[in-house]
């Protein structure tokens, strides 16, 4: 190994970016790594697409004649069942991606690469939020590919909706990824995560407005209707549904913001070195 | 043991640090020592002595319940950003992303340290050159040997030009030549750059004459100082004997 003399430390300090620049560089770096990992895992991309496509092409086609959807906002006329479940399937992609991203965080904890992130000088809450944003951006890319395939098959929203849906996708994705982050902070091993996913993902998805309007659910069970109304995933789906038609549903927006904040606060608690998973589980050793 | 004083002459000051996992036995008990700027300090201790726990506390992966840790004069709890910016870390286990290239791993690390693109590229080039892995810049980490991976991790820890370099048993799993190369390189860094190094190990042949020693046994500091002082403390004529005596005596 050859050694050369060091650069002057004063020069190094002078070259260090200050202000918001390190924060932006950090965000860019984390997003870039997530995108690279996504490109390397093409199987993950196809799996993420195949799942909603199966629902759209097979399930929705089969149930089209069985499930009638009456006129309800944001729709101004009768719609096909495929049109109705499109926002729910977008939410499904975000839900699975959020959980997948969090799964990768459990993997990172086990493999040790999470430590590289956590010893960065930037605050831990910021690092974790950057990680979530990166996960959601990759998920949004998958949603847009899915929406594009839907467009090709004639399941179309107003053109402006494809723009206005982006902030809704980001917010809904953040909420679901924050939930995943929360789970990852309290899970010791990858094996446990699979079980938790079954207890979280499927109940969340089915007890929501993703596949059927809530008023239909009320006809069969008031309790189930109430549970579904309180389900964070329902709010995320409704936020996406309205945004896809260039509208804002204030209650869905408010609840999604509240759930996001709640999940984030508990997740940050979980990752706090004074109280959280590292000290409790000894993962740093 | 005299109480260490924080200040620019000390790259790391650990004072009265204790830690326990849950309600179990204390992994660390009232640990205090300092790493002077520009010194190579070897933290020696057998398995289970608490070395890695201490490293986790110093790198803020854990918070200590008692005591304080200051890096380059900055308290790790109150000024964690400045403290963490002053340290570079090589963890015991490999923490590189195996599926990414050397360059991609280092760019990612540079962004976490807030280094701009131009500076990051220059520093990556400099460190890889210095460590003799510049020709593997585009290689996937997965294809590198254990020794080369360690060098890349060392390059990563030095990208932001820290004042303190912390290495947690960095030679675990390496062959003799790779071990020797890493030990030599870090000692040279210390001498030529004035970098303070805290090197944890249980292998006393990684200690060089002139190094500072901290011997940890059963979660407590058993001896601190230059090799001669540690040997004098035990009355042993060699370091191996002194180490054995200090760490064996520590066991209940």
Give the model's confidence band at A29: pLDDT under 50 very low, under 70 low, under 90 confident, else very high.
Answer: very high
Contact A169, A90 (CB under 8 A): yes
Please tell me the predicted confidence (pLDDT) of residue B154: 94
Write out chain B residues lying below 8 Å of A16, CB-based.
114-115, 119, 160
Please tell me the predicted confidence (pLDDT) of residue B233: 86
Please tell me the predicted confidence (pLDDT) of residue A124: 85
Please tell me the predicted confidence (pLDDT) of residue B60: 85
Please tell me the predicted confidence (pLDDT) of residue B2: 43
10-residue block means of pLDDT along chain B (252 residues)? Answer: 54 92 81 93 91 90 85 90 93 89 95 92 94 92 92 94 93 87 91 91 88 92 91 85 80 51
B237 to chain A nearest CA, in Å?
Answer: 34
pTM: 0.83
Nearest-angstrom CA–CA distance, A231 and A238 = 11
Using CB atoms within 10 Å of the CB of residue B122, give its burial: 0 to 12 exposed, 13 to 18 middle, 19+ buried: middle
Please tell me the predicted confidence (pLDDT) of residue B202: 87
Nearest-angstrom CA–CA distance, A27 and B86 = 21
Nearest-angstrom CA–CA distance, A147 and A165 = 11
Which of B82, B89, B192 comes nearest A119 by C-beta? B89
Q: Does A189 have pLDDT greater than 70?
A: no
User: Are A29 and B80 in contact (CB < 8 Å)?
Assistant: no
Q: Does A284 have pLDDT greater than 70?
A: no
Judge whether B115 is closer than 8 Å to chain A, CB to CB: yes
Q: Does A283 have pLDDT greater than 90?
A: no
Q: Does A3 have pLDDT greater than 50?
A: no
Please tell me the predicted confidence (pLDDT) of residue B74: 93
Return the percentage of chain A with pLDDT > 90, whole number: 37
- Strands in B66-71's sheet, in edge-to-edge order, are B26-36, B10-20, B66-71, B74-75
User: Are B131 and A273 in contact (CB < 8 Å)?
Assistant: no
What is the tally of helices (H) and strands (E) in chain B?
8, 10
Write out chain A residues lying below 8 Å of B95, CB-based.
111-113, 115-116
Nearest-angstrom CA–CA distance, A188 and A171 = 28
Q: DSSP class of residue B75?
A: E
Q: Between A159 and A10, where is the model more confident?
A: A159
Q: Does A10 have pLDDT greater than 70?
A: no
Please tell me the predicted confidence (pLDDT) of residue B140: 95
Q: Does A167 have pLDDT greater than 90?
A: yes
Average pLDDT over residues A149-165: 92
Complex confidence, ipTM = 0.83
Q: DSSP class of residue A166?
A: H
In DSSP notation, A195-249 reads HHHHHHHHHHHHTSSSSS-HHHHHHH-HHHHHHHHH-HHHHHHHHHHHHTTT---
Average pLDDT over residues A226-235: 93
B168 φ/ψ angles, rounded to the nearest 5 degrees: -100, 100
Please tell me the predicted confidence (pLDDT) of residue A188: 64
């Amino acid at each position: 190994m050859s050694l050369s003399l060091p650069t002057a430390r004063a020069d190094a300090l002078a070259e260090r970016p200050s202000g918001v620049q390190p924060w932006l560089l950090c965000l860019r770096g984390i997003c870039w790594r997530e995108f690279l990992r996504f490109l390397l895992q093409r199987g993950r991309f196809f799996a993420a697409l195949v799942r909603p496509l199966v629902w759209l092409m097979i399930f929705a086609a089969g149930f089209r004649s069985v499930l009638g959807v009456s006129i309800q906002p944001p729709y101004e006329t009768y719609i096909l069942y495929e049109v109705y479940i499109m926002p729910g399937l977008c939410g499904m992609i975000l839900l699975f991606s959020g959980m997948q991203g969090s799964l990768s965080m459990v993997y990172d904890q086990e493999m040790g690469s999470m430590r590289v992130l956590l010893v960065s000088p930037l605050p831990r809450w910021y690092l974790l939020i950057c990680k979530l944003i990166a996960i959601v951006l990759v998920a949004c890319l998958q949603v847009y590919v899915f929406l594009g395939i839907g467009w090709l098959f004639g399941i179309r929203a107003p053109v402006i909706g494809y723009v206005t849906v982006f902030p809704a996708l980001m917010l809904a994705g953040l909420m679901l990824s924050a939930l995943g982050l929360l789970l990852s902070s309290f899970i010791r091993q990858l094996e446990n995560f699979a079980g938790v996913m079954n207890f979280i993902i499927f109940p969340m998805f089915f007890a929501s407005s993703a596949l059927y309007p809530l008023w239909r659910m009320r006809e069969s069970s008031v309790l189930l209707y109430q549970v579904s109304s309180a389900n964070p995933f329902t709010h995320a789906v409704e936020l996406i549904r309205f945004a896809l038609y260039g509208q804002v549903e204030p209650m869905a927006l408010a609840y999604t913001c509240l759930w996001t904040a709640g999940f984030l606060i508990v997740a940050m608690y979980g990752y706090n070195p004074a109280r959280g998973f590292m000290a409790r589980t000894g993962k740093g050793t | 043991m005299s109480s260490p004083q924080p200040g620019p002459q000390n790259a790391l000051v650990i004072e009265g640090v204790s830690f326990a996992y849950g309600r179990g036995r204390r992994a660390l008990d009232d640990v205090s020592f300092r790493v002077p700027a520009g010194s190579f300090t070897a933290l020696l201790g057998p398995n289970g002595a608490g070395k890695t726990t201490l490293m986790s506390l110093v790198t803020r992966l854990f918070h200590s319940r008692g005591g304080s840790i200051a890096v380059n004069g900055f308290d790790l709890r109150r000024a964690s950003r400045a403290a963490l910016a002053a340290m570079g870390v090589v963890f015991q286990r490999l923490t590189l992303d195996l599926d990414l290239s050397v360059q991609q791993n280092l760019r990612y690390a540079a962004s976490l340290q807030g280094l701009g693109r131009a500076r990051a590229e220059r520093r990556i080039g400099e460190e890889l050159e210095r460590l003799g892995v510049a020709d593997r810049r585009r290689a996937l980490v997965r294809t590198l040997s254990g020794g080369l991976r360690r060098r890349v991790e060392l390059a990563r820890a030095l990208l932001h030009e820290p004042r303190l370099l912390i290495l947690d048993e960095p030679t675990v799993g390496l062959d003799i030549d790779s071990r020797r190369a890493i030990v030599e390189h870090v000692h040279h860094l210390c001498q030529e750059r004035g970098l303070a190094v805290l090197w944890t190990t249980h292998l006393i042949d990684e200690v060089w004459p002139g190094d500072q020693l901290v011997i940890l046994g059963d979660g407590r500091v058993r001896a601190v100082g230059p090799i001669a002082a540690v040997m004098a403390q035990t009355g042993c004529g060699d370091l191996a004997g002194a180490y054995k005596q200090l760490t064996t005596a520590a066991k209940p």
